[in-house]
Amino acid sequence: MIKFRTISHLLEIYVLPEVKKRIGNGKIKESDLPLELNQFRLIQKKLAKGNVLNIIELNKEVNLRVKVKVKRAISAGESLTLKNIYPEECFICPPVYDGKPMAYFLCQSLFYDYFLSFDFEPNLSNITEEELEEIKIPYPILEFINNKEFNKTVRPIEKMNILSDHNWPPAPGYFPQVLLELHKDPIIINSPNFLKIVSNAYRTSYWDKRFAFWQETNFFPDRLPYLKRALDAHFDKDYIASIYILVPQFEGIIKNYLIKCGETLSGGFQGNIEDLKKLIFSRKILMFPRKVFETIFEYLATGSFWKSTDTVHDPATTINRHGIAHGVFTGFECEEISLKYLILLDSLSFVLLHDKMLTRSI
Most confident of 36-40, 93-97, 319-323: 36-40
Cα(155)–Cα(171) distance, rounded to whole angstroms?
15
pLDDT digits (tens, 9 = 90+) for 275-289: 999 999 999 999 999
Q: In terms of domains, do 189 and 246 share one? A: yes
Is residue 4 pLDDT above 60, yes or no?
no
Exposed e or buried b per residue across 277-293, where buried means at least 16 C-beta atoms within 10 angstroms of its C-beta: bebbeebbbbbbbeebb
Q: In terms of domains, do 166 and 231 share one? A: yes
Higher pLDDT, 250 or 120: 250
Higher pLDDT, 50 or 358: 358
Tell me, yes or no, whether 3 lies in a domain.
no
Q: In terms of domains, do 114 and 170 share one? A: no
Q: In terms of domains, do 140 and 188 share one? A: no
When pLDDT is averaged across residues 196-222 and rounded to a whole number, the result is 95
Tell me, yes or no, whether 258 lies in a domain.
yes
Tell me, yes or no, whether 317 lies in a domain.
yes
Q: In terms of domains, do 72 and 179 share one? A: no
Q: In terms of domains, do 220 and 341 share one? A: yes
pLDDT digits (tens, 9 = 90+) for 37-71: 999 999 998 887 778 899 999 999 999 999 999 99
Q: Which residue range forms the structural domain that includes residue 68? A: 37-148
Tell me, yes or no, whether 212 lies in a domain.
yes
Q: In terms of domains, do 321 and 343 share one? A: yes
Tell me, yes or no, whether 6 lies in a domain.
no
Residue that terminates a domain, selected from 82, 116, 148: 148
pLDDT digits (tens, 9 = 90+) for 111-166: 888 899 998 887 777 777 777 777 789 999 999 999 999 999 999 999 999 999 99
Tell me, yes or no, whether 274 lies in a domain.
yes
Is residue 361 pLDDT above 80, yes or no?
no
Q: In terms of domains, do 99 and 191 share one? A: no
Q: In terms of domains, do 206 and 272 share one? A: yes
Tell me, yes or no, whether 23 lies in a domain.
no
Is residue 93 pLDDT above 60, yes or no?
yes
Position 2 scores a pLDDT of: 43
When pLDDT is averaged across residues 233-240 and rounded to a whole number, the result is 98
Tell me, yes or no, whether 168 lies in a domain.
yes
Is residue 291 pLDDT above 90, yes or no?
yes
CA nearest 321: which of 253, 263, 225, 264? 253
Q: In terms of domains, do 188 and 221 share one? A: yes
Q: How many CA atoms lie within 13 A of 239 on its CB side?
A: 15
Position 1 scores a pLDDT of: 37
Number of domains in the chain: 2
Residue that terminates a domain, selected from 148, 182, 210: 148
Cβ neighbors of 328 (< 8 A, separation 6 or more) are 309, 322
> Maximum CA pair distance of the chain?
74
- Phi first, then psi: what are they for 340, rounded to 5°? -65, -40
Torsion over CA: 68, 73, 77, 78 (sign): negative
Residue that terminates a domain, selected from 86, 118, 148: 148
Give the predicted TM-score (pTM) of the model. 0.90
Position 120 scores a pLDDT of: 86
When pLDDT is averaged across residues 215-219 and rounded to a whole number, the result is 92
**Beta carbons within 10 angstroms of residue 329's beta carbon:** 19
Higher pLDDT, 251 or 100: 251
CA nearest 146: which of 110, 92, 170? 110
Is residue 5 pLDDT above 90, yes or no?
no
Cα(308)–Cα(319) distance, rounded to whole angstroms?
11
Q: In terms of domains, do 257 and 111 share one? A: no
Q: Please give the angle made by the CA atoms of 40, 44 and 46, to the nearest 5 degrees.
A: 165
Q: In terms of domains, do 104 and 184 share one? A: no
Average model confidence (pLDDT) across the chain: 91
